[in-house]
Amino acid sequence: MRFVEIMQFFLLAASVFTQFFVAFLGFELFRIIPDYRVWVLFSVGFLLMGTRRLLVFMEALSKGTCADYLFSETFAFLSSVFLAIGVLAVRSFFLSMKKTQEQLEEIKERYRSLVESTEDSVYLVDKECRFLYLNPKYLARIGIPEEKILGKHYGEFHTSAETKEFQEKMEQVIKTGSSIQYEHRSKRDNRYFLRTMSPVKNQRGETIAVTVISKDITQIKEIQNQLSFFATHDLLTFLPNRALFMYSLKMAIAYAKRYNQRLALMLIDLDNFKEINDTYGHQMGDEVLRIVGKKLKGSVRESDTVARMGGDEFLVLLPYIKSEEDAFVVANHIQERLRELINVEDKQFKVSASIGISIYPDDAEEAEELLKNADKAMYLAKLEGGNAFKRLPKCHHKT
């Protein structure tokens, strides 16, 4: 009998402890998730139940027996145990969820810190091209307060051409669900940007928004343009070089052939330029060449092309001429301009030139052949003492 009584008291005490423990867990859950106020009522209820059982336990101790409460308190104990297990499981779930949320918030904060400290413009737009987020860099560049642009359409702050381009790229991202990258030139400040547009998807894999990262590549583009310019232009005079001139000549020949037109090619060689280099040095000679290039450029039409072939030789392309007389008039004007004194520092130079003229399609129909005939004509002018222009006679063609 003694063992049975001990078990009876143990069950009653365990029931009391379990009730208070469940009440404690309820308050703990409320601390973890304050929005769920129902846990407070739950805990208060179990706290009252635990208090009642504590009073029952004290009464049983005073009587020396708890046989009267054995059945009911045993059931209450078992119920409380199962409930405690359930509440512990719920607590574990919410703790895990809270930890996940904290991790997500940490990641979100890191992302925001990264986005807001980057030198790139970053913004988020929905499928209707309305702004959802803009980082400080982008806001500073466009000079518009955030509250005046959030929720507004992209087109309200950009030209119609820029908006059309943006919408087309947006549609491509939404349709394919993949990121794209392209170069964009801003009309706002005439700068170049490398745009990366990436889809933002929901749990079903549907694109609901697009993130745009816009990297300023203006300096890179300027370097590329400079390299491209230097590859096709003479570095001394900044005129087109031979390669670019020959390309332009071939294009002009193709156009003239299609529309049954004529064009003229001039090869210009400065007379006695070597004496300037030998007497005054290459630096002075280079300055003379720069001035000659400007004189040639100013002696022809906007549609004509002036190039430096190399050394003291220059090339001129005259499209849309009606006869050789048109070319002769230009050649005569060039010689008049070149005969004007050239002032470099405190010195004056008198320059003349020998000019060879070749006309399409009369003298040749291919670019290289035209250049060859112009070169021959230039040497004929040299043989006559220079300071003259010549067109190659028919008898000298292809010899």
Catalytic positions: 312
Torsion angles phi and psi, residue 177, rounded to 5: 70, 20
Residue 310: its H or E element: strand 305-310
- Residue 160 burial (CB < 10 Å; 0-12/13-18/19+)? exposed
Question: In angstroms, rounded to a whole number, what is the distance separating the alpha carbons of residues 240 and 50?
Answer: 97
Please name the residues in contact with 252: beta carbons below 8 A apart, sequence gap of 6 or more: 263, 317, 319
- Residue 359 burial (CB < 10 Å; 0-12/13-18/19+)? buried
The length of the chain in residues reads: 399
Say if strands 305-310 and 313-321 run parallel, antiparallel, or are unpaired.
antiparallel
Q: Any idea what the Cα angle at residue 111 is, between residues 106 and 115, rounded to 5°?
A: 150
Token pair 């005569």 in the structure block, residue: 332
Closest CA relative to residue 306, chosen from 372, 368, 375, 245: 245
How many C-beta neighbours within 10 Å does residue 398 have? 7
13-27 burial, b for 16+ CB within 10 Å, e for fewer?
bbbbbbbbbbbbbbb
140 contacts 214 by C-beta, under 8 angstroms: no
Closest CA relative to residue 266, chosen from 328, 376, 356, 370: 356
Q: Any idea what the Cα angle at residue 314 is, between residues 310 and 315, rounded to 5°?
A: 120
Terminal Cα distance for the chain, rounded: 138
318 contacts 304 by C-beta, under 8 angstroms: yes
Token pair 């992302």 in the structure block, residue: 111
